[in-house]
Amino acid sequence: MDNHDPLFNILQSTSVPYSIPDSPEYDSLRLPYNLRLQPKPAVIVFPQSIQQISLALKAASEAGLKVQARSGGHSYASFGLGGKDGSMVIDLREFQDVETLNEYVDPSTGEFLRGVVAKVGGGARLGNMARKLFQQGKRALPHGTGSGVGIGGHSTLGGYGYVSRAWGLALDRIVAVDVVLADGRVLHANLKENENVFWAVRGAAHSIGIVATFYMKTEEAPLQVIYFELGWDGMYEDMQRFTNTFLEIQHFATESGVVDERLTFGVRVDGSTYRVTGGFLGGEDEFNDKILPALVKNLPAPSSTSIKPLGWIEFLEVCSDKGTLDVPAMGTDEHKSFYATSLTVSESEGLTEAAMEAFFEHITSPPLPEKYFIIINLHGGSRSSINNKDEAFSAYTDRDSLWTFQIPADSDTAESKDFVMGIRNKIIEKQKGTSFGASLSYIDAALSREEAWKAYYRDQEVVERLKKIKREVDPRELFWNPHAITAIGDRRR
């Protein structure tokens, strides 16, 4: 970029802070979470206000650059860096405020909510946000276990945590947004105002605009959550044991009659340990007397059992991938190099014995990656607050999955790639009649745009509605990543 560049001129005249490839700190500022995918943005801007976001978008538009927001920078496919070289990244590190509002009038019901709705800056980190919400009147939101993950990508693409079957996804808690559109307009969108944008942002914000502020409906933090973790040894030496254990857990989740929305859990498989981890929003006695016996009834005896009644913050800390909620507000201090994919399994079919056997064979047959973990989280099951919504609610339409697999493997070797893709492909192969999808939260960079749309949104009508909104609010397709909604191809036809 030189003095004649329109981008340079606009950024200079508006004093939006920025970093370009020649800037001294550019290389560290662009480091993504996934080091395997390192796009080189033309410029990273650090707006200090919503007006500066508008100005930066104007500059990108005049310079012909594509744009992506970066919130926590934890996209598995580095989409927060644009997903390709030469984009403008709007880094939201200055948008960290978390404020529980004394008064908020629910636009759809007219109800006066006191101390319930929180304003959350588009760059806030989940850990810091959780702590601030708790400090402000002991409030809480459902969200994931990655303390450093940003609310921007997390809540607009899902946001699952160990209370989600009771409280929904982080996305389900958004009641309004302040979003900056491609033409620089700042729009307040909710169920009554700009409702199409509101619908689209929840599932495809990266294609629609930059959410500067989220308004999120919080819950009163529970006094106690039961955290539980059961572990089994010897799972990777015995296919029958591995398969039966999972099928029994699936049976427990869907058929036992004791599982309601208060229970959320996942199964973690990593080649050496096999664990079930989760949270229960009920009493310790009820968990020990009713839930646990039904869970372990037909399973091999666990090698380890940990059941802890915890306060809300302790619960989040124990669940956190970092063991702490306190993360740097700025930048990303976690970096790994990995391949990843995901798989969602429909509620009506679940996983079959043949699919679990194929899964076992694949993860026990060399060559294997040095390190991997697969987490199979329960989304569906009885009274799930994730699955009690449909495509009218939001553009996020994964509302009929029983299980969601997240499948990353550390290292950027061909073995890692074959390993993660093999899990997805082999399960799908064994259940030909089942409709499988993929998770918007765990982006698989290897999917083509069309494959991604089909796997994420499932319903072509949802994609068509997104394209229509895209044409209305971003006709020149300023907001772009390799999986973003694009309607230009349609217009040309």
> Which residues form the interface with ligand FAD (CB under 6 A)?
33, 68-76, 79-80, 92, 122, 144-146, 149-150, 152-154, 156-161, 205-206, 210-211, 321, 441, 481
Query: 120: which DSSP letter?
Result: E
Which of residues 152 and 282 has its CB atom nearest to ligand FAD in the complex? 152
Helix intervals (H) in 351-481: 353-364, 414-430, 449-457, 460-473
Amino acid letter, residue 405: F
Which of residues 265 and 360 has its CB atom nearest to ligand FAD in the complex? 265
Instruction: Tell the smallest beta-carbon distance from residue 49 to ligand FAD (Å).
Output: 15
Instruction: Tell the smallest beta-carbon distance from residue 30 to ligand FAD (Å).
Output: 12
Question: Is the alpha carbon torsion for 310, 312, 317, 321 positive or negative?
Answer: positive
Q: How far is CA 11 from the centre of its chain?
A: 32
How far, in Å, CA of 483 to CA of 478, rounded? Answer: 14
Residues 401, 380 contacting (CB under 8 angstroms):
yes
Which of residues 141 and 356 has its CB atom nearest to ligand FAD in the complex? 141
Interstrand relation of 104-105 and 88-91 (parallel, antiparallel or unpaired) = unpaired
Instruction: Tell the smallest beta-carbon distance from residue 161 to ligand FAD (Å).
Output: 6
Instruction: Tell the smallest beta-carbon distance from residue 69 to ligand FAD (Å).
Output: 4
Amino acid letter, residue 469: I
Q: What angle do CA 342, 338, 38 make, to 5 degrees?
A: 110
Of 152, 378, 97, which Cα lies nearest the Cα of 260? 378
Instruction: Tell the smallest beta-carbon distance from residue 32 to ligand FAD (Å).
Output: 7
Instruction: Tell the smallest beta-carbon distance from residue 374 to ligand FAD (Å).
Output: 14
Instruction: Tell the smallest beta-carbon distance from residue 159 to ligand FAD (Å).
Output: 5
Which of residues 431 and 441 has its CB atom nearest to ligand FAD in the complex? 441
Tally the residues of the chain: 493
Of 151, 143, 105, 101, which Cα lies nearest the Cα of 125? 151
Of 118, 149, 490, 456, which Cα lies nearest the Cα of 328? 149
- Tokens linked to 438: 């993929």
Which of residues 139 and 483 has its CB atom nearest to ligand FAD in the complex? 483
Instruction: Tell the smallest beta-carbon distance from residue 92 to ligand FAD (Å).
Output: 6
How far, in Å, CA of 367 to CA of 129, rounded? Answer: 41
Element (H, E) at 248: helix 239-255
Which of residues 164 and 250 has its CB atom nearest to ligand FAD in the complex? 164
Which of residues 183 and 286 has its CB atom nearest to ligand FAD in the complex? 183
Instruction: Tell the smallest beta-carbon distance from residue 105 to ligand FAD (Å).
Output: 24
How far, in Å, CA of 260 to CA of 276, rounded? Answer: 17
Which of residues 142 and 302 has its CB atom nearest to ligand FAD in the complex? 142
Of 321, 2, 375, 357, which Cα lies nearest the Cα of 149? 321
Point out which residues pair with 117 in neighbouring strands. 217
Of 210, 224, 142, 204, which Cα lies nearest the Cα of 181? 210
Which of residues 292 and 447 has its CB atom nearest to ligand FAD in the complex? 447
